[in-house]
């Protein structure tokens, strides 16, 4: 389902920024979309850290086979926190998870099971407050938290300045291919508020037209 703010964001950004207007017009029929529950989305982000997409997908499929909710959905299967916590070290290794990622997944599952991470309360939290809650989990840094806010929570005004894809797109479209300073990126993004997530998403599309879904 398309976020409620999406059409207004497109109009606002296209009116303010000719570069974004061109990119938005080149991608008329795509938008952000949420596909899974919070625990599954965060677990998949952890699994995919620092390995290829192909390797991550293979490990993920094995993890879902061992710890997916029942009955598992074929298209976007859900992971069960309790079943993740029940996996022993041998099972984690057989799935292909490193010791570090096994630790991170257990910590994530424990946060959900204990209620320390409580998705029903997130709607009341500002972006930075939710990021603070997420980075309390081992293996989740600010970039992962920002991606989760954009792709899963559909927050409208996240600006992930450490993201290499965003940096590359900003250099390409706004600075003749040269890297922009942190201050310059901040200043440019100020004109996109309160829709910096949407601006970022379209800049990503200018590099890769296939949207990522969480």
Domain at 6-33+158-207: CATH architecture: Orthogonal Bundle (1.10)
Predicted structure pTM score: 0.90
Give bridge partners of residue 68 from the DSSP assignment.
79
Whether the pLDDT of residue 209 is over 80: the answer is: no
- Please give the pLDDT value at position 69: 82
- Tell me, what DSSP letter sits at residue 153? S
- Please give the pLDDT value at position 75: 60
User: Domain coordinates of the chain in residue numbers?
Assistant: 6-33+158-207, 38-151
Neighbours of 5 (CB within 10 A): 18
- Please give the pLDDT value at position 53: 81
Pick the range with the lowest mean pLDDT from 86-90, 106-110, 166-170, 205-209: 205-209
Assess contact for 40 and 79: CB atoms under 8 A. yes
In 135-145, which positions are buried (b, 16+ CB within 10 angstroms) versus exposed (e)? eebbbbeebbb
What CATH code would you report for 38-151?
1.10.340.30
Alpha helix (H) ranges present in 30-135? 38-47, 53-67, 81-86, 89-95, 99-114, 127-134
* CA–centroid distance for 193 within its chain: 19
Give bridge partners of residue 79 from the DSSP assignment.
68
How much is the average pLDDT of 99-111? 97
- Please give the pLDDT value at position 212: 62
- Cβ-count burial of 183 within 10 angstroms (0-12 exposed, 13-18 middle, 19+ buried)? exposed
- Please give the pLDDT value at position 6: 97
- CA 56 – CA 47 distance, rounded (Å): 6
Residue with tokens 């389902």: 1
- CA 64 – CA 46 distance, rounded (Å): 14
Whether the pLDDT of residue 16 is over 80: the answer is: yes
End-to-end Cα separation, the chain, in angstroms? 13
How much is the average pLDDT of 136-161? 96
What digits encode the pLDDT tens for the residues 44-100? 999 998 888 899 999 999 999 999 986 555 567 899 999 999 999 999 999 999 999
- Please give the pLDDT value at position 96: 97
Cα atoms in the Cβ-side hemisphere of radius 13 Å centred on 149: 31
């Amino acid at each position: 389902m398309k976020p409620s703010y999406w059409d207004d964001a497109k109009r606002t950004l296209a009116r303010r920024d000719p570069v974004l207007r061109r990119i938005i017009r080149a991608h008329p029929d795509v938008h952000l979309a949420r596909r899974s529950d919070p625990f599954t989305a965060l677990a998949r982000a952890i699994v995919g850290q620092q390995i290829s997409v192909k390797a991550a997908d293979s490990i993920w499929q094995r993890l879902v086979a061992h710890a997916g909710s029942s009955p598992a959905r074929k298209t976007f299967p859900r992971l069960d926190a309790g079943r993740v916590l029940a996996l022993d070290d041998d099972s984690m290794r057989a799935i292909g998870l490193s010791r570090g990622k096994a630790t991170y997944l257990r910590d994530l599952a424990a946060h959900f099971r204990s209620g320390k991470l409580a998705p029903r309360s997130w709607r009341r939290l500002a972006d930075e407050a939710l990021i603070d809650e997420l980075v309390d989990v081992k293996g989740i840094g600010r970039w992962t938290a920002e991606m989760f806010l954009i792709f899963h929570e559909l927050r409208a005004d996240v600006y992930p300045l450490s993201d290499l894809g965003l940096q590359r797109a900003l250099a390409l479209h706004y600075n003749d291919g040269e890297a922009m300073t942190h201050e310059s990126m901040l200043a440019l993004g100020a004109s996109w508020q309160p829709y910096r997530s949407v601006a970022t998403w379209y800049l990503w599309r200018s590099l890769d037209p296939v949207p990522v879904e969480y």
